[in-house]
Structures are given as structure tokens and as C-alpha cells.
Amino acid sequence: MRKRIVAGNWKMNKSFFEAEELIADIADALEEMELDNREVVVCPPYVYLEMATDIAEESRIRVGAQNVNDHESGAFTGEISAPMLKSMEVDYCIIGHSERRKYYAEDNAFLKRKVDTALAHDLKPIFCCGEVLPEREAEQHFKVVKTQMEESLFHLPADLFLQVVIAYEPVWAIGTGVNATPEQAQEMHGYIRGLIAEKYTPDIAETTSILYGGSCNAKNARELFAQKDVDGGLIGGASLKAEEFIQIVKSL
């Protein structure tokens, strides 16, 4: 059975004390819950990871980074490597978020190198893919997502691909308050699962968790997560309030 995951992407938000309070509140709420095959991940800014992993150690929260460098070490001022993250007990890292694609010109070939470095150090990528609005309007969204998968992920051998979580995040839905409809999400998630089945095997496709991201919140999560190929969500804005984030976890 594939894992169902809710992951919070805090982006560049929160002071240290606010971040500590948020993760502690999430940890407290999870203590009362049966998680079964559900996993809860928080992705705070780098500088809060140590605090987050300390709290997470005592709880059932998993911690992810929002980014990782494509090199293992060296003269890359200001950057953070996969071995550093692993040495801090970080389990996941977001790779290919549309904000990094847009503001830092990260393309599919570059993201492929990040995926490789992360996996070489046992960090699980949460790999984001998705189209911008003009691409959807031009009915190019399937082609765009297929190319992102092919150019950044499909070189992986099956055992490594199995470590990857996919997040379908239509860029027009991120931070806009306009989520994909459950039908639009299911259509793309089913398509992605089909691509994986074709490239690898139907079993591997069935095992891969595919999350939806883009204005997912406590109101719409249940309907989105009810779609058969939607295995949870990557949550931005709505992950910044413990109560709302927990409501989303409960919708899984």
C-alpha cells in the first residue's frame, strides 16, 4: 500500500519562536491521532531544521528541507548539501518547486543533478512538477509534466525511483486561492501514474505517492484527497497554522 503524505512547505516564513511553536503544536496534535499509513512532513527554512528535527525526534513528524545543492561539498558560499541535511536527520527535500524554477532559473537538467545528489545521500526527494497557466490554456499541460518527469527523474533505476515522492503542483494554483478541481487533479495524477507504469512497472506506479499542491486547504483537502490517484498534499499557505494543517492531515 502506498504512503499517504501531507507535507507543509513553510517557504520563507516565521521567526524562530513562531516556527518552534508551530511544530510543537503539530507534534502535540499528532500524539492524539492514529496515523496508520499516513505520514506528516514539515519543511521549515534551513536555519530551523535542527530545532525541527529535535522536536520531530520525540514525535511522528518527519522533517524535510525546501531545497538542496546539487554538489556534495565545496566552495558554494551560502549553500547547503545533501550530506549536511542527512547529518541533521532530515528525511526529505523538496526539489523542483516552481518558485525555484522561476526565480532561480532551475531547469530540468539541473534538477536531475539535485535528485541524484539527494538520493546518493538517502534523502527522499519530493519532486514538484506542473504547468503554468498559458501551458494549460494551450492544452500543453500533459506534455510539460511528461517532459519534467523524463528529464529529471526517468534516468533513475527502479530502486532509487521508489524513494521519490511526486508533487503535482499546477503553478497557476500555487498561492492564488484557485485550486485545481478534484477532476483536474485526478486527471493529471492518473496520467503521471500511467507514465510511471510505462517507464517502470505497474507495481512501481502503484507504490509511488503522488501529492497534489496548489491552494489546498482545510476546506478543499477532503475532496481532493478522495481522488483515487491523489495520495495527499504539499501544502504552502495553509501549513502555517497548526490547526488548519492538522485539519488537512485529518482529511487524508
DSSP state of 202: H
Q: Residue with the closest Cβ to ligand PEP?
A: 236
Radius of gyration of the chain (CA): 17
Minimum CB distance to ligand PEP smaller for 44 or for 213? 213
Say if CB 65 and CB 92 are below 8 A apart. Answer: yes
Select from 91, 99, 95, 114 the least CA-distant residue to 40.
91
Q: Is 210 in the site for ligand PEP (CB under 6 A)?
A: no
Question: Catalytic: 169?
Answer: yes
Minimum CB distance to ligand PEP smaller for 61 or for 167? 167
Minimum CB distance to ligand PEP smaller for 170 or for 205? 170
* 106, 141, 169, 189: the active-site residue: 169
Strand partners, 124: 92
The three state secondary structure string of 137-197 is HCCCHHHHHHHHHHHHCCCCCHHHHCCCEEEECCHHHCCCCCCCCHHHHHHHHHHHHHHHH
Question: Catalytic: 97?
Answer: yes
Q: Is 70 in the site for ligand PEP (CB under 6 A)?
A: no
Minimum CB distance to ligand PEP smaller for 54 or for 181? 181
Residues in contact with ligand PEP, shown as a per-residue x/- string from 220 to 239 under the rule CB under 6 A:
--------------xxxxx-
Sites for ligand PEP among residues 159-188 (CB under 6 A): 169, 174-175
Residues in contact with ligand PEP, shown as a per-residue x/- string from 1 to 40 under the rule CB under 6 A:
--------x-------------------------------
Residue type, 151: E
Say if CB 96 and CB 128 are below 8 A apart. Answer: yes
- Residues involved in catalysis: 97, 169
Residues that bind ligand PEP (CB under 6 A): 9, 169, 174-175, 213-216, 234-238
